[in-house]
Chain A
Amino acid sequence: MFKNIDIKNLGSDRLWSRIALVSGIFALLICVLLIANYIQIKKADPVNMKVINSLVERLNQDPTDSKLREEIRSLDLLSRKAYFTTKWQIRTGGYMALLAIGIMVIALQIISYRRRIIPQVPKENDDNTMLFQKKARTWIVGGGSIILATAILFAILATNELKDNLSGKTISQETGSPNSDITAKVNDSVISDTSSLNQTAADTAVSSVDQTAPVVADSKDNFPTFRGPGGNGIATQKNIPVSWNGASGANILWKTSIPLPGFSSPVVWGDKVFVTGANATKREVYGFDRLTGKILWTVAVENVPGTPAQGPKVSSETGYAAPTAATDGVGVYAIFSNGDLIALDMNGKKLWAQNLGAPGNHYGHSSSLMLYKDMLIIQYDQKTSPKLMAISVKTGKLVWSTIRPVKISWASPVIVNTGKRTEIILAAEPYVASYNPTNGQELWKIDCISGEVGPSVAYANGMVFSVNDYSKLAAIKIGAQPSILWENTDYLSDIPSPVATDKYVFLSTSYGLAVCYDAVSGEKYWEKEFGNSVFSSPMIVEGKVYLLDRTGIMHIFKADKEYKSLSDPDLGEKSACTPAFTNGKIYIRGDKNLYCIGK
């Protein structure tokens, strides 16, 4: 054949075997180098050099160090050079190795092609098909049974609980997880601390509630109380939408009408959203499905022991269901204008209910429920014996109660950790005061507020900001001897509460003017008139302030010293409630409907 001869004429066998040998050794060498290179890359990733990062950090502390600056620059250049050189080496090395192996294969192929000889007929012709088959059977049976036996052994030892856990999670949460342990422990300590204060507390040891309390797996993504956990107006949730449109339905995940009116705001735990509603005769608590917006259950609050026959007189701007409910994943707790307090489990089953005594309140009771560990913290600044109470969520029994010689107030408690301890901070004429949440002892107070106090306080970085209309905005440096750092009377609020970050205080007046002050100096940075009245309290989420006005327009702006509007989406329905947040979603109660907004 032509090709046959062609190849035969192409050099000698020795030549080709030498070529094969040389290219083989060359390929091997490159492979070794590539492996060495690979190990080097693994050892020091030049792109994420920790050294440079730490040097830059040092430079930031001392920007004048020009020597350090030079060092960083040369090191950066060096590391980048090293990185790209290694990449180049790998690429080139790869091609070279491929080429060398290719040459080796060609040479070997040529050699084997030319050496191909007519095969010799094997000497013995042992036809041992039977033997082979027998061996194959033996091995398959032997090897197979060993493997199968091992597999079965491990299969018996294997525990398969994933499915149960997963499906268990979807219906009712599993029992005995650490959260409920903590609750139990806290419960004990509270009892021992406060038993001297209140006789009934001892009874809480005998809990009527099932100890196997459900605990939601993802406890960080809840919105348990009015103005977020602790009621300080700050939410930690992420990915909060900034645009929606109630008219077009854009980003409105669901919208469900709420049977009875109320100015209470939604609270969220796990897969449920709760709101309350009431009129002069009926009081109801609603549990919504967080995903679909369907009303899962409605509980009418009736036959509560001690309920006054005659409902209270309330103003239309407060209504019969102004206080926001609270939830801790075990239960939902709601209070109404007639003093009815009810605890329901997550499925709407009544746990306990009681009446706190008809509130003497000419507008209607509006202070929202707060939670501290397993206690409900209730501001009950009424005409007769104004007080702050803590009630066990499990039994509904009083844990402690502290009488406050103050005027009637409508503000909600704010529970914050001020560094060493947790404090309940409340504002009512004539003072802003702090209480120990475990026993209700007064920690400090300072005279700085007057009038019919509506806004709750804001707390940030050791400072409390209190405000009321016809009074003043006061920045209080807290401590054993609290002092007023600055005060201002230019813009005051009678309904929306202030919010604060470490640097700034944001305040909205009820006629719709937002203003930002420096938290420490009190210097006014900006003011912005929105034109519509505001009843809802602003919330700070993801570094943005969410302020809902009465017409339903959400003003979203940066929590910063320069006013920078991010967007002003319109809900298309009037609202006076403070929104609730979970990751990626906002829940807003309009006058008629509950909305869930998300992407």
Chain B
Amino acid sequence: MDDKKQIKRREFINTGVRIGIGVGLGAIGVVLSTRTLSGKSVWQIDPAKCVQCGKCATSCVLEQSAVKCVHVIEMCGYCDLCGGYLRPETKELNTAAESQLCPTAAIARKFVEEPFFEYHIIEELCIGCGKCVKGCGAFGNGSLQLQVQHKLCVNCNQCAIARVCPSEAFSRVPATAPYLLKGFENKK
């Protein structure tokens, strides 16, 4: 008789606490759901803040960094003497190894007409070190920009590069406009 009473009391307490927890969880859910994002968000670099420190190449959780250089060709001046392609102080404007700035030779150039060249990034080779971005920004039009490639990015809860970025250039942006390129409109 006593035992049964005890069990009943325990059940009552259990039910009460359960309802309490349930209500609490519901409240958290409801309160926070008023503050949710309208859609999905992804990490992106603001090229205006980026200082090309080179940490993107090494800090990503992926072995092949999700940050790569994007060439906004609409902004390009097609210069022969490209600050993003050639090492500074280079004497000869050619494609030889001693003239190229990119450590992995990930920028290819194609002759268009005298004296213009078209540049494009070979994405498989680009490691996101930002050397070319620095060169282009300092001397050229700034058409080379570092961006998180969403084909590669696993969209970590807390981006490992954002944590070490010295200029706080990383932020979450809506997935509907996932790129922050200057001089180029997102299609979507």
Contact = CB atoms under 8 A, between A and B. Distances in A.
Interface string A193-212: 00000000000000000000
Size bracket, chain A contacts: 10 to 19
B98 A48 contact: no
Nearest to A80: B104
Interface stretch (B12-20, B35-43, B89-97): B89-97
A47 B104 contact: yes
B98 A59 contact: yes
A60 B91 contact: yes
Contact of B91 (A55, A63, A72, A84): A63
A56 interface: yes
A477 interface: no
A55 B87 CA distance: 13
A508 to B, nearest CB: 26
Contact of A90 (B63, B89, B91, B125): B63
Contacts of A83: 104
Contacts of A220: none
B105 A47 contact: no
A63 B129 CA distance: 27
A69 interface: yes
Given A87-B63, A90-B63, A73 B105 contact: no
Nearest to B54: A48
Contacts of B104: 47, 80, 83-84
A337 B61 CA distance: 65
A63 B99 CA distance: 11
Given A69-B98, A72-B97, A56 B87 contact: yes
B103 interface: yes
B88 to A, nearest CB: 9
Contacts of B105: 76, 80
Contact of B98 (A47, A49, A56): A56
A77 interface: yes
B91 A73 contact: no
B184 to A, nearest CB: 19
A91 interface: yes
A73 B63 contact: no
Of A47, A55, A73, chain B has the most CB atoms within 10 Å of the CB of A47
Contacts of B63: 87, 90-91
A contacts with B: majority SS:
helix
B103 A47 contact: yes
Contact of B97 (A47, A60, A77): A77
Nearest to B100: A76
A69 B94 CA distance: 13
B61 to A, nearest CB: 14
B129 A47 contact: yes
A219 B89 CA distance: 33
Interface in A60-98: 60, 63, 69, 72-73, 76-77, 80, 83-84, 87, 90-91
Contacts of B89: 60
B141 interface: no
Contact of B103 (A48, A90, A91): A48
A83 B87 CA distance: 20
A282 B179 CA distance: 56
Nearest to A63: B91
Contacts of A91: 63
A410 to B, nearest CB: 39
B181 to A, nearest CB: 18
A80 B97 CA distance: 11
Interface in A21-77: 47-49, 55-56, 59-60, 63, 69, 72-73, 76-77
Contacts of B98: 55-56, 59, 69, 72-73, 76
Contacts of A77: 97
B42 to A, nearest CB: 24
A47 B87 contact: no
A202 to B, nearest CB: 50
B127 interface: yes
A530 to B, nearest CB: 25
A63 B97 CA distance: 14
Contacts of B90: 60
Given A63-B91, A80-B103, 5 more contacts: A47-B57, A76-B105, A80-B105, A87-B63, A90-B63
24 contacts: A47-B103, A47-B104, A47-B127, A47-B129, A48-B103, A49-B103, A55-B98, A60-B90, A60-B91, A63-B91, A69-B96, A69-B98, A72-B97, A72-B98, A73-B96, A73-B98, A76-B98, A76-B105, A80-B103, A80-B104, A80-B105, A84-B104, A84-B125, A90-B63
Nearest 10 CB-CB pairs, A to B? A76-B97, A47-B103, A73-B97, A72-B98, A63-B91, A56-B98, A60-B89, A59-B98, A72-B97, A80-B104
